[in-house]
Structure 1
């Protein structure tokens, strides 16, 4: 038969393992952090967020790069050539005149300008949409990070409260064991009563040591989320009670899926497909460009027929290129239709998710109320049983069972607290913009 304290220990280990745990206040000195401060620090120093911000900057540079295609293009080209056998022309019999220099150097100055290109216009629009996509991806990462830090911060406070309760019970059990050992020495009780208490104290010590290890691990997790050095001590300043008081189910009003970040990202994918369709259609349009070129030569020959200044324009009109372009247009049109269906499905899915999450929040709150009442009743039973033990009307085995029941109720209570806070966090995540 399993020892009742082992049951509680397994319950608490399960609590730590199934949620993203974190350390609360384990140091007397260190950086003091409220939840808001922890989230702000994470937004500034979390490596994934920093990487997402770099993606936004890269996208901005991509817009500038694409814009530059439509700006005037200026080039200067220099060339040198040596002719081993210079061509000549004979104007007078017996007298040959070279028409080129054996060694010549020339410089060309060229300015070109794209006047109209449908693909360029669509490409410029697409680059701006790409920048918006990276900005939305950054915002989504920020929302998820804020919710993750909040969940971890809550777990830190729960671990701290659990640690306090286990420490209090361990101190009380040691005190009771000392008193019972004195009674055993006086021959007032049997040794089995003392042995039972010794087993209880040992189980509580193991549990306290396990919690200490878990606290070190979750502290490192919080630092990792915030982008802090592992050696930096921190102290959490917000109280668990404050979060519980703020967790009353007060969410009301209609949910607008179009404000959700996931919906807006899907909407951008629709825009991408719409621009893809425009790009394929633009391949049927003509392209117009103009240029100006000026040439200077060193050692120019006497008879130089190359013009110094040239101004020109070029127009390309697609006439017929098989059915490829037409089929690409049809494919792009179908892809746009698919993206619009995905957008509608996302909106419906978000509405359903919100309704389910709101129900889960209200259910978790009612569960919290029940578990809170059970924990209070179990505490009173434990205190009365402990008093009966001192009065000699209860056995140590009975106290052990009642204490195990009390600690299990406490564990269930904090599980319900975390479940309620997590449900609220998930609901707020859906409402985040």
Structure 2
């Protein structure tokens, strides 16, 4: 009875996790981010290269299918032969010449595959599997590109927020500078207080320059991915993404890396099938027609001729080459399966790490929120008391520093939470750009 209850609870737990995952997957990404991702697909050179390779693979399938169609060739040849055999008949001026010295031949030759016991079919299947692999690899490249764009997008949100905080603190210090100057005029402050304020103010301005420079670099990265001149048109925030729960192997089936690994297994399996068919015979129909000379009794006059027949090619001995190819193909299957297992093991590790990071970032963010509220309240009190001469300039400076650190810490934890959530979406194979 207890086992049955535990089984029911486990099913309910899985349903709840699935609902959470679906809710996260259904979350809508910002419209401007979706647009940038679509532009990157059209612009990024590696994606265009992969799409071209897909077209080449489709052409390879057509070539394989064409092996089942007849081949027809036109032929024409001329050959002068010297010496040629001649027989002088006794008692006569007549000379018998069995072959011409001027040989001419013009005609059409055709060959049709009648039966190859699955060799052509297995080759077609192999090329189809390779085309599917290229499709999976193209999707994987697109997914990686989309998440690179999303990472840059969140990086812009991080830098914009830092710039905003830095500007607010610069304004605050400018007000403090004015306050200290007024106190200095009335003899309630010393030159050192004003000097410290100005040094700190310049430090904040320099830090803002660093953030602005980093923002420009991030925008340049996005322009590289998308081909668009973005300037200051992006208004990103940390409201997106929210990560879902990845459910073991069931969740990994949507992961593009796993899909690619599975397609590699299929290609390797088709390689084994193709290697086995190389032992089988091939039956051909051969035919030809045209005009050529060399027919008795008048060997110099071209005559109409034709031929038709069948030919059978049977592999007998190739120096263990075919057996070696089959063994190597089977080993490729084993390698592909181990690669798939390694990919899944790595994904499990990544999921655990990112879920741990999400949990930790949420806890840090709650603490940062509380600290920020306390820092804001402490700064208000410090400003009021400094004006009234109750505390020293050093106390005011400490309150301002604590305020800045709390603001920056909150932004940092928001950013870390968003990056980890984005990583979980990628591990789950979430195509947010659709």
How does the TM-score come out when normalised to structure 2? Answer: 0.81
Is contact 1:71-1:114 (8 Å) kept?
A: yes
After superposition, the C-alpha distances for 1:242-286 in whole angstroms (9 at most, x for unaligned) are 32xx63x65376643333222222222222222222222222211
Is contact 2:386-2:393 (8 Å) kept?
A: yes
TM-fit CA distance, 1:192: 1.5
Is contact 1:43-1:49 (8 Å) kept?
A: yes
TM-fit CA distance, 1:365: 2.2
Rounded to whole Å, the distance in 2 between the matches of 1:357 and 1:172 is 37
Distance 1:342 1:49, change over 3 A: closer
TM-fit CA distance, 1:70: 2.8
Is contact 1:258-1:347 (8 Å) kept?
A: no
Distance 1:259 1:180, change over 3 A: closer
What pairs with 1:264-303 in structure 2 (closer than 5 Å)? 264-297=259-292, 302-303=298-299
Is contact 2:157-2:235 (8 Å) kept?
A: no
TM-fit CA distance, 1:67: 2.4
Residue 55 of structure 2 corresponds to: 57
Is contact 1:115-1:289 (8 Å) kept?
A: yes
Distance 1:145 1:376, change over 3 A: farther
Distance 1:408 1:177, change over 3 A: same
Aligned: 1:410 with 2:407? yes
Aligned: 1:376 with 2:370? no
After superposition, the C-alpha distances for 1:180-201 in whole angstroms (9 at most, x for unaligned) are 2233234332111111111111
After superposition, the C-alpha distances for 1:387-430 in whole angstroms (9 at most, x for unaligned) are 32223223332222222222222222111111111111111111
TM-fit CA distance, 1:165: 1.3
Residue 213 of structure 1 corresponds to: 213
Is contact 2:177-2:194 (8 Å) kept?
A: yes
Rounded to whole Å, the distance in 2 between the matches of 1:241 and 1:328 is 54
Rounded to whole Å, the distance in 2 between the matches of 1:152 and 1:367 is 23
Secondary structure at 1:292 match in 2:
strand
Residue 14 of structure 1 corresponds to: none
RMSD of aligned alpha carbons: 2.9
Is contact 1:75-1:109 (8 Å) kept?
A: yes
Distance 1:328 1:54, change over 3 A: closer
From 61, 80, 89, the equivalent of 2:78 is 80
Rounded to whole Å, the distance in 2 between the matches of 1:352 and 1:221 is 29
Rounded to whole Å, the distance in 2 between the matches of 1:251 and 1:327 is 46
Is contact 1:136-1:261 (8 Å) kept?
A: yes
Residue 44 of structure 2 corresponds to: 46
Rounded to whole Å, the distance in 1 between the matches of 2:238 and 2:253 is 34
Aligned: 1:36 with 2:12? no
Secondary structure at 1:236 match in 2:
coil
TM-fit CA distance, 1:46: 1.7
Deviates more, 1:146-155 or 1:56-65: 56-65
Is contact 2:292-2:304 (8 Å) kept?
A: no
TM-fit CA distance, 1:137: 0.7
Residue 70 of structure 1 corresponds to: 68
Is contact 2:100-2:293 (8 Å) kept?
A: no
After superposition, the C-alpha distances for 1:47-102 in whole angstroms (9 at most, x for unaligned) are 22222212212221222222223322121122223346565455682122555555
Rounded to whole Å, the distance in 2 between the matches of 1:292 and 1:264 is 47
> Number of matched residues?
396
Aligned: 1:318 with 2:315? yes
What pairs with 1:5-404 in structure 2 (closer than 5 Å)? 34-83=32-81, 88-90=86-88, 93-96=92-95, 103=102, 105-117=104-116, 118-228=118-228, 233-238=231-236, 240=237, 242-243=239-240, 247=242, 251=245, 255-297=250-292, 302-303=298-299, 308-404=305-401
Is contact 2:293-2:303 (8 Å) kept?
A: no
Rounded to whole Å, the distance in 2 between the matches of 1:234 and 1:113 is 65
TM-fit CA distance, 1:36: 1.6
Secondary structure at 2:287 match in 1:
strand
Is contact 2:184-2:191 (8 Å) kept?
A: yes
